[in-house]
Structure 1
Amino acid sequence: MSADPSGEEPSPGRLRPTSAGTLTLWAVVGLIGGWVLHPLTERVGTPPVVTWAQPLALALVAAILGATAYLTWRAVHVQHHLLEPHRAVNRLVLARSCALVGALVAGGYAGYAVSWIGVDAELAAQRAWRSAAAALAGVAIVIAAVALERACRVRSDDPDA
């Protein structure tokens, strides 16, 4: 078992935060997938058009996660309330899954946007800009999800933890 960034060994039964390496790996997989999507779909037919609905939906998810992170942080760290165990687990699972999927989605849209740079085709610039906006919204999801994951953490010297 590797050491926690704080220098402490995690005790048994405790989750470590999602690592930057894991998030980077998922983002790179998404980047490659998004980059490959354009030439593959062009051979078969028409590459997908990115509408404003995709980045807006992702931004909505990021906003909801951010609000949940803020409310959780305020309840646990400011008001010193303990979360019920099932609620804490639900929020941790939500945070970790959204962080991983957000990194994959951000990488995928970024790869798709990059694949359109320098292409002289109808709607190429539109696809690139909207994909870039969706990639930024995916990054916002990752940030909000990591914030939610951190908000669920309690101090290691807390006797009720």
Structure 2
Amino acid sequence: MSEDPRQDVGTVRPTPPGVLVGWGLAGLVGGWLVRPVARRLADSSPVVTWPQVLALFLVAAILAGTAWITWRTVAQRRYLESHQAVNRLVLAKACALVGALVAGGYAGYGVSWLGLEAELAGQRMLRSGLGSLGGLLTCGAALLLERACRVRDGADDA
């Protein structure tokens, strides 16, 4: 056991960009495989609906608002209650990973329709592109929330 008790306390690091890229690539491959697998199993491909796309933008807006409130609270009071900080940090990390996965998934599904003359190919590509954008915004807003939860060095211990 070390003499400094602070050395025994675990630390949480910011989400590395490589992890987000990995999740995005996994989503890209998975999204690209959805169309051929669905055609083989069900003889029809899934339709991307507006509520799916709009839900991603709503989640991104909620995360961005939470990031703003968190940043403002930390800037004014210099701290958050520990349970609030942990809850927001866990939410941010989970949403960053899922946002990257979803962005890649929608991008992969949209790319799988390129060059096809199917009836709804254009609609699926457009909505998939917007879904991918919503996933990227969700990931970005989650990273902002993660950053807002960061403990400042040199903060007063009072």
Letter aligned with residue 84 of structure 2: R
**Take 1:89 and 1:160, find their aligned partners in 2: how far apart are those partners?**
18
- SS of 1:95's partner is helix
1:11-160 alignment runs, 5 A limit: 12-44=9-41, 45-77=43-75, 79-160=76-157
- Is the CA contact (8 Å cut-off) linking 2:78 and 2:155 kept in structure 1? no
Secondary structure, in 3 states, of the residue corresponding to 1:17?
Answer: coil
Q: Give the whole-Å Cα distance in 1 for the aligned partners of 2:74 and 2:156.
A: 14
Letter in 1 for 2:66: T
CA deviation digits over 1:112-161, x for unaligned, max 9? 00001111111001001100000000000000000000000121222439
The TM-score normalised by the length of structure 1 is 0.89
Taking the aligned partners of 1:141 and 1:97, their CA distance within structure 2 comes to 11
Deviation (angstroms), 1:32: 0.2
Q: Which has the larger radius of gyration?
A: 2
More helix by share: 2
Cα RMSD between the aligned structures?
A: 1.6
Percent identity between the aligned chains? 58
Question: CA deviation digits over 1:5-28, x for unaligned, max 9?
Answer: xxxxx9852210001000000000
**Residue type at the aligned position of 2:104:** G
Q: d(CA) in 2 for partners of 1:97 and 1:47?
A: 28
Query: How far apart in 1 are the matches of 2:31 and 2:153?
Result: 41
Please, what TM-score do these two structures have when normalized by structure 2? Answer: 0.91
Gap runs ≥5 in structure 1: 1-9
- Contact 2:92–2:146 (CA under 8 A) maintained in structure 1: yes
Gaps of 5+ in 2: 1-6
TM-fit CA distance, 1:81 = 3.9
